[in-house]
């Protein structure tokens, strides 16, 4: 099964109030294993960058000034997304910006039936716990020491690991991105090889043990298990 983990960075919180997407990072998973295929792009928002947003992701208006418009890379992005489910943390936020940018290009929005929200998954798995990406990385022992600021591709990489954990645990292959195919096959075969059947060990008493037990019982005076036997 093919899935896309993605994250966005923006100028603010609401595209309907003039905020725009400035970065998107996407990672391809097949059967919950990263394939090494990614899509990453910065976009010129054609507006200023509020200080509070820049403090979160570090993307200044000057840095983005020479980056392409969303429309210039839209077709490439849609080709990468394909028809796969789209996984994001607080996915409604990212879908709102993605679909707003698509609408600005005169294109159909991505259907919400493709949305997978890892916050909702985490809420079911860990009710009452902190659900931020940082908190989930800490819970699952995922190294985020290099995450000094938000970044769409970096956050998507971390979320891919969290997503696998939320679905049952880290699987073989998560550390195998870029490994030769022969090595991957060999390691998968090592994990999934058929176990050798062994006959169960006998646990019945030996003749000597039965004799010793009978002798012991003969020495017990007025055993409780004989009370009422005559009735």
Beta strand 86-88 with 21-30: parallel, antiparallel or unpaired? unpaired
Going along the chain from its start, the domains and CATH numbers come out as 2-192 (3.30.420.10)
CA 7/CA 5 separation, integer angstroms: 7
CA 80/CA 6 separation, integer angstroms: 11
* pLDDT tens string 111-167: 999 999 999 999 999 999 999 999 999 999 999 887 767 889 999 999 999 999 999
Q: Is 203 a catalytic residue?
A: no
Walking along the chain (231 residues) 10 residues at a time, the average pLDDT comes out as 97 97 98 96 97 95 97 98 98 98 97 97 96 95 81 94 89 47 45 55 74 81 66 51
**pTM for this entry:** 0.72
CA 125/CA 167 separation, integer angstroms: 9
Inter-residue contact 66 to 72 (CB < 8 Å): no
CA 170/CA 163 separation, integer angstroms: 9
Q: Which of the following is catalytic: 126, 146, 150, 213?
A: 150
């Amino acid at each position: 099964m093919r899935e896309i983990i993605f994250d966005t960075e923006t100028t603010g919180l609401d595209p309907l109030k003039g905020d725009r997407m400035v970065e998107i990072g996407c990672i391809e998973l097949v059967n919950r294993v990263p394939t090494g295929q990614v899509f990453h792009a910065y976009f010129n928002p054609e507006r200023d960058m509020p200080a509070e947003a820049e403090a979160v992701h570090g993307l200044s208006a000057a840095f983005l000034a020479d980056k392409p418009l969303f429309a210039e890379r839209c077709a490439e992005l849609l080709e990468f997304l394909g028809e796969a489910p789209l996984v994001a943390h607080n996915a409604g936020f990212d879908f709102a910006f993605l679909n707003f940018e698509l609408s600005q290009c005169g294109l159909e929005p991505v259907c919400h039936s493709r949305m997978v929200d890892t916050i909702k998954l985490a809420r079911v798995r860990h009710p009452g716990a902190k659900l931020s990406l940082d908190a989930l990385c800490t819970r699952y022992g995922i190294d985020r020491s290099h995450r000094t600021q938000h970044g769409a591709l970096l956050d998507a990489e971390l979320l891919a690991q969290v997503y696998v954990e939320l679905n049952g645990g880290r699987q073989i292959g998560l550390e195998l991105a870029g490994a030769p195919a022969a090595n991957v096959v060999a390691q998968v075969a090592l994990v999934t090889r058929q176990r050798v059947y062994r006959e169960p060990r006998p646990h019945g008493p030996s003749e000597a043990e039965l004799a010793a037990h009978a002798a012991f019982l003969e020495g017990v005076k007025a055993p409780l298990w004989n009370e009422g036997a005559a009735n």
